[in-house]
Structure 1
């Protein structure tokens, strides 16, 4: 079986793109590709100060780009009510310290992710033998050391609610990291999946550059627990989302997206795992 599932043009979510390249996919959900990763803006346009939430904070050097995107969508002086992290990998927390200081915003994450956000623990070494392209070989160069935002860091509520976002629930979706979370709104079946599921490959520099659309498990070289990752994908597929916003790749929507998501969940071990770990290897 192939190691990825191509996604046709018909699976792409309808988008309204503004001058700052922010892509609106719901009236109150938009995302911005900041270098190699997406950040999500959740909240209605022009909500006033503290009327929206930022999910993830890109790679180092994207602070100005994210602030420009926020200003374009919410107004120049509008600050988020909170910054919420799907997880703490380097490509999702690059501007976290600077943005939380600039906006005086609290940071929320799953408690299992706190060691990586309070200076106590580094992530495991990458799997340089993961197949798919040059990126696993380069992965040892990527930062794994923790940052320390403990002064502003808070824990996501135990009841599954999402601070400042009524109607949303956070879901523990480990595997890629121990405390990885995704966000789900039942009312319109919107899923913000972080890196639990992505819609373009991250193992190949070519895939990263061109964003070839495909339904993909988490990045192979930085996913240490494949049993948990499989369970997380199956949990998310069982929700039958109508819209999927991921940490890497374009937003996808509709029945073709859902069909390929279920195919990924059903055949996860044959499709998503590094070749050396697949059944029969």
Structure 2
């Protein structure tokens, strides 16, 4: 069983459950809520316990929405689906990795930046097969069961990664398009040292797409950002961090070496 280290409230209807190295989120109210991402392997019990503490005994989501399908965002499957039996939604481009049709590009432990990057050769990149449980998110950008929210495609870290955005309070659930700690560093992850950073370098195969995705999210002018890794950030601290990331993306986010580094950065 994964170790639950933090449960905290991001907004009145958004709750973060943090495991050692990754976040997932509960969005909504007792009569209408969804789970966003599915954590690490072995996290089923913690997810269910947190859901019941938040929404009441026997609570079950309307659906599970995936920002993307990397191993640390789908780890509770298939156990969680056996318990809840609810639909899963992801971007259509991500479906091959969730139906057993494709595997992700392998992680790159040569990117440097820290121990977690060095260990990434051990991280699974094999796709999973959710069969008929998984469905494509609506092409019009609407979010199932969450009418105030819209889907924002943010490829780069994975081909079909998405974020979710609500205009009313400019709340952004960013997936791993950017994160708020240096995910490559064991020290930063364990201490949750806050720093707006690019997507985890060891698992990002397309840096130019990742850069365009960050620019797209910055243009939304989010007030609150709940990311796949790191502590939720808001206000001026978030805006300054994102501005710095956009203006110095290659220096902050893109590693100096590695199999996926753009040729112009290598040069």
TM-score w.r.t. the length of structure 1 is 0.89
Q: What CA deviation, in whole Å up to 9, does each residue of 1:145-197 have, x standing for no partner?
A: 11110221111000000000011001100000000000000111000001001
> How far off is 1:144 after superposition?
1.1
SS at match of 2:83: helix
Which residue of 2 is the match for residue 155 of structure 1?
136
Cα distance in 2 between the residues matched to 1:279 and 1:94: 33
Structure 1 counterpart of 2:73, from 92, 114, 119: 92
Where do 5+ consecutive residues of structure 1 fail to align?
1-18
SS at match of 2:250: helix
Which residue of 2 is the match for residue 78 of structure 1?
59
Q: What CA deviation, in whole Å up to 9, does each residue of 1:105-140 have, x standing for no partner?
A: 100001111111111111111122102112222111
Which residue of 2 is the match for residue 132 of structure 1?
113
In terms of mean alpha carbon deviation, does 175-184 or 28-37 score higher? 28-37
> How far off is 1:20 after superposition?
9.0
Which residue of 1 is the match for residue 159 of structure 2?
178
In terms of mean alpha carbon deviation, does 250-259 or 129-138 score higher? 129-138
Cα distance in 2 between the residues matched to 1:130 and 1:138: 11
Report if the CA contact (8 A) 2:107-2:125 is conserved. Answer: no
> How far off is 1:247 after superposition?
0.3
Which residue of 2 is the match for residue 16 of structure 1?
none
Where do 5+ consecutive residues of structure 2 fail to align?
none
Q: What CA deviation, in whole Å up to 9, does each residue of 1:189-237 have, x standing for no partner?
A: 0000010010011112222211111000000010000000000000001
Cα distance in 2 between the residues matched to 1:20 and 1:260: 25
Which residue of 2 is the match for residue 40 of structure 1?
25
Which residue of 1 is the match for residue 33 of structure 2?
52
TM-score w.r.t. the length of structure 2 is 0.93
Please say if 1:29 is aligned against 2:14: yes
Report if the CA contact (8 A) 2:181-2:188 is conserved. Answer: yes
SS at match of 2:79: helix
Cα distance in 1 between the residues matched to 2:22 and 2:227: 9
- Distance verdict in 2 for CA 1:236–1:150, change over 3 Å: same
> How far off is 1:245 after superposition?
0.3
Cα distance in 1 between the residues matched to 2:6 and 2:41: 19
Superposition pairs for residues 7-22 of structure 1, below 5 Å? 21-22=6-7
Aligned length: 259
- Distance verdict in 2 for CA 1:219–1:20, change over 3 Å: closer
Which residue of 2 is the match for residue 143 of structure 1?
124
- Please tell me the root mean square deviation across aligned C-alpha atoms, in Å: 1.5
- Bigger relative contact order, structure 1 or 2, given CA contacts below 8 A and separation 6+? 1
Report if the CA contact (8 A) 2:183-2:200 is conserved. Answer: yes
> How far off is 1:280 after superposition?
7.1
After TM superposition, which residue ranges in structure 1, 4 or more long, deviate above 3 angstroms? Answer: 277-281
Which residue of 2 is the match for residue 111 of structure 1?
92
Report if the CA contact (8 A) 1:199-1:214 is conserved. Answer: yes
> How far off is 1:34 after superposition?
2.2
Q: What CA deviation, in whole Å up to 9, does each residue of 1:25-64 have, x standing for no partner?
A: 21111111023110011002xx23xx10000000101111
